[in-house]
Amino acid sequence: MSLTETVQQARRRDLRIPLAAVLVVIALAAPYIGSRYVTHSLIIALIFMLPAHGLNLLVGYTGLLSLAQAAFFGIGAYTAGLLAVTYGTPFYVNLIAAGVVSGAIALPLGIPALRLRSTSFVMCTLGFVIIGQAISKNWVSLTRGDMGLSGIPKPYFELGPLSFSVSGTTNFYYLALAIGALATFAAWAIVRSPAGRNMVAIRENETLAESLGVPTWHYKLIVFMLSAVFAGIGGCLYAYYLTVVSPLTFQMYYSTTMLIIVLGGGAGMISGTVFGSLLFVGLTEALRITPELRMIAYGFCLLVLVFWFKKGFAPLINRFWNVIGGVK
Amino acid sequence: MLSTVLEQVVNGIVTGSVYAIVAVGMTMIFGVLRAINFAHGEYYMLGTFGAWFAVDYLGLSYEASIVVGILATIVVAYVVGQLVMRRMVGAPAESGVLATLGIALILQNAVIFVFGGGYKFFSGGYIEPISILGFSLAQQRILILVVCLVVFVGLELMVTYSRLGMAMRAVSQNVECCEVVGIDVPQVVLRTFILGAALAALSGVLTAPVNVSVYGGMGELITFKTLPIIIMGGLGNVRGTFFAAMILGIAESLVATYVGLQFRDTVGFATLILVLMWRPYGLFSTQARF
């Protein structure tokens, strides 16, 4: 035994794949494990996960703090609601339309807004939420104002001879789970692509990224639109789940919730957003905390995240993942 | 016709005065901290609630309730300032936004939690109308105008001549230099913040008899109205804030009369976005400061 050779470390087993399998099984079996209320909480968490993924691309990867997410969430909800109630179009059409319309509206809003920096950008995006709410309240002929749109039908699928409608909490949970999984995969694919690395470059140093030939302006605009697409799809699901859309969908509070999911879970990390939505939305919903107490708790969460817990749960998740994988 | 317009303009000036007193605190806090205080309207709400509590529960007179409202807000602002605002010195702009959003959530919902979310009736104040030059105007509105003028003249003098005022100007110009020459920056920030919060509370207490209803969500609305004002006025610019507040007050009042009441609350943010596009450094500042 030479001196350079060290004693072989006792390698622990890589438990990542079994753990992932267990998590998938739990996700699939959740409606049968927990009560109906737990399933409901999970649906809400999954719905909020969608705009949070979009926000994560914007805040976590590109470094733009935006409050506009609730505006696009609302636009998606209204698009889906109006199409479903007025034209009776099927669910998947509305889902795509909600994403497309939100993304399309984000373009003219993003062009002026993204010219602004830091605080001014934040305020401009806040303005979109306020103005969105005002429009949904006052354009009565289209949105029915404060009464809102009610009677959104159940999601209905038709595949050739097969057709079924998603009714009941359990079925809706699977729908939300499928869309949530797709969105998570989409976000992951974006982040892992070369485009994702360019986004990180913009976050770290915009001037440097620009000097290296990254078209920063186009990137920022496209990410802003993508975040709106995610939010719009989330809004569509929300509208279908509640079967009602009202001007209250445009709420600052929703933007704050999404921010807490992203920052708490760990900005710039896909698994962090998934974890954040389960923790901050799913858990608070499941514990049946009164809205006021929940908002107070959110307020404290924001303060803690800003001053004491800057990276959110990201380092913990990473460490856990490494330990499970047998890496020291 | 003309007299209606004039009446609306006068009403707008009164509304503008209310906004001006709130906004000037926000703009001074921005000056020393380089951070927008998204919770500023909540101090307006706290002041109003303090006064309402004094009148309704303690049975005090309106004059005493002004003092109670402002003192209660100062106590809260002192705690928030010590725990949060001091930490924001030198922190990136984003953390300021998030921290103050958090404070807004806490203050607003703590009040709703304690007092309930319903509308409360504020009884008190001087609501007798008196007529001047053919206009009839509630005494309270005249009081608001007078207080606004006194506040702005006082602030102008304070910022120019007093020790704290000079320190505030120094901090808003260069934080490092202030630290080098021995100015206690967190202390200046704390005092400016408490002064700003107290002014917001004063504005809230003065408006309560005119608005009559008191509720937990009122602060958020005021925050959303003062944000455009301080941007229009040029961040950190006290005089600009005064004129911007008057412009917004008058514009809102005219829009409410001639376009529709429901569009009143949108005027501010529509203006804000236009101003941000066109003159990001405000209407009254000649160059970009931040």
Q: What residues in chain B have their Cβ under 8 A from chain A's Cβ atoms?
A: 35-36, 84, 87, 91-99, 101-106, 108-110, 112-113, 117, 220, 224, 227, 231, 260, 262-263, 265-266, 269-270, 272-273, 276-277, 280
Q: Which residues of A touch B115 (CB under 8 A)?
A: none
Contact between A221 and A109 under an 8 Å Cβ cutoff? The reply is no
Q: Which of A33-47, A131-145, B113-127 has the highest mean pLDDT?
A: A33-47
The model's pLDDT over B155-164, given as tens digits with 9 standing for 90+, comes to 889 888 998 8
HEC secondary structure over chain A? CCCCCCCCCCCCCCCHHHHHHHHHHHHHHHHHHCCHHHHHHHHHHHHHHHHHHHHHHHHHHCCCCCCCHHHHHHHHHHHHHHHHHHHCCCHHHHHHHHHHHHHHHHHHHHHHHCCCCHHHHHHHHHHHHHHHHHHHHHCHHHHCHHHCEECCCCCEEEECCEEEECCHHHHHHHHHHHHHHHHHHHHHHHHHCHHHHHHHHHHHCHHHHHHCCCCHHHHHHHHHHHHHHHHHHHHHHHHHHHCEECHHHCCHHHHHHHHHHHHHHCCCCHHHHHHHHHHHHHHHHHCCCCHHHHHHHHHHHHHHHHHCCCCCCHHHHHHHHHHHCCCC
Question: Mean pLDDT, to the nearest integer, of A6-30?
Answer: 76
| Chain B, nearest residue to A112 by Cα | B277
- pLDDT above 70 for B170: yes
Which of B87, B109, B260 faces A307 most closely, judged by CB atoms? B87
Which among B98, B114, B262 is the top mutation candidate for probing chain A, defined by the most A β-carbons within 10 Å of its own β-carbon? B98
How confident is the model at residue B285, as a pLDDT? 64
Q: Do A115 and B263 touch (CB under 8 A)?
A: no
Strand B120-121 vs strand B213-214: parallel, antiparallel, or unpaired?
Answer: antiparallel
Q: What is the pLDDT of residue A159?
A: 66
CA angle B59, B62, B68 (to 5 degrees): 80
Query: In the predicted model, is pLDDT for residue B24 greater than 70?
Result: yes
Average pLDDT over residues B143-147: 87
Q: Does any CB of chain B come closer than 8 Å to the CB of residue A239?
A: no
Tokens for A109, please give them. Answer: 């809003």
Residue in A closest to B227 by C-alpha: A123
Residue A100, pLDDT > 90, answer yes
> Cβ–Cβ of B97/A259 closer than 8 Å?
no
Mean pLDDT throughout B163-179? 86
- Helix-helix angle A69-82:A91-113, to 10 degrees: 140
Lowest mean pLDDT among A90-99, A136-145, A203-212: A136-145
**pLDDT for the residue numbered B290:** 46
Q: Domains in chain B and their CATH numbers?
A: 2-151+184-278 (1.10.3470)
Contact call for residues A68 and A254 (beta carbons, < 8 A):
no
Is A296 in contact with B262 (Cβ distance < 8 A)?
Answer: no
In this model, does residue A72 exceed pLDDT 90? Answer: yes
For the ranges A125-134, A279-288, B125-134, B244-253, the lowest mean pLDDT is seen at B125-134
**pLDDT at site A6:** 61
Decide if B269 and A292 are in contact by the 8 Å CB cutoff.
no
Q: Which residue has the higher pLDDT, B183 or A228?
A: A228
Nearest-by-CA chain B residue for A119: B93
How far is residue B10 from each of residues A98, A142, B204, B254, B267, measured CA to CA in Å? 45, 36, 19, 10, 18
pLDDT (0 to 100) of residue A7: 60
Q: Is the pLDDT of residue A8 over 90?
A: no
Q: Which residues of B touch A260 (CB under 8 A)?
A: none
Closest CA to B49 of B128, B118, B150: B118
pLDDT (0 to 100) of residue A54: 92
Predicted confidence band of residue A12 (pLDDT cuts 50, 70, 90) = low
Domain range summary for chain A, segments of one domain joined by +: 35-250
* pLDDT at residue B203 tops 70: yes
For chain A, the residue count is 328
Would you state the pLDDT for residue A78? Answer: 92
- Across residues A145-171, what is the average pLDDT? 74
Residue A155's alpha-carbon distances to A50, A76, A94, A180, in angstroms, are: 18, 15, 10, 16
Task: Answer whether residue A293 shows pLDDT above 90.
Answer: no
Q: What is the ipTM of this complex?
A: 0.82
| Mean pLDDT rounded to a whole number for chain B | 84
How far apart (Å, rounded) are the C-alpha atoms in residues A322 and A70?
35
Largest CA distance in chain B: 61
For A299, which residue in chain B has the nearest alpha carbon? B102
Reported as a pLDDT band with limits 50, 70 and 90, residue A266 is confident
Quick one: closest CA in A to B235, which residue?
A: A120
Chain A and chain B share a number of CB contacts under 8 A equal to 111
Residue-wise pLDDT for B218-252, tens only, equals 888 888 888 888 888 877 788 888 888 998 898 88
With beta carbons less than 8 A apart as the criterion, state whether A265 and A314 touch.
yes
> Residue B90 pLDDT more than 50?
yes
**pLDDT at residue B289 above 60?**
no
Q: pLDDT of A205-247, one tens digit each?
A: 888 988 888 888 899 999 999 999 999 999 999 998 888 888 8
Give the pLDDT of residue B287: 57
Q: Do B36 and A293 count as a contact with CB atoms less than 8 A apart? A: no
Indicate the pLDDT class of residue A180, thresholds 50, 70 and 90: very high
For B114, which residue in chain A has the nearest alpha carbon?
Answer: A292
The CA-CA-CA angle for residues A138, A141, A146, to 5°, reads 45
Q: Is A302 on the interface with B (CB under 8 A)?
A: yes
Q: Which residues of A touch B277 (CB under 8 A)?
A: 112, 115
In this predicted model, what pLDDT tens digit does every residue of B50-81 receive, in sequence order? 988 888 888 888 888 889 999 999 999 999 99
Q: What is the mean pLDDT of residues A124-138?
A: 86
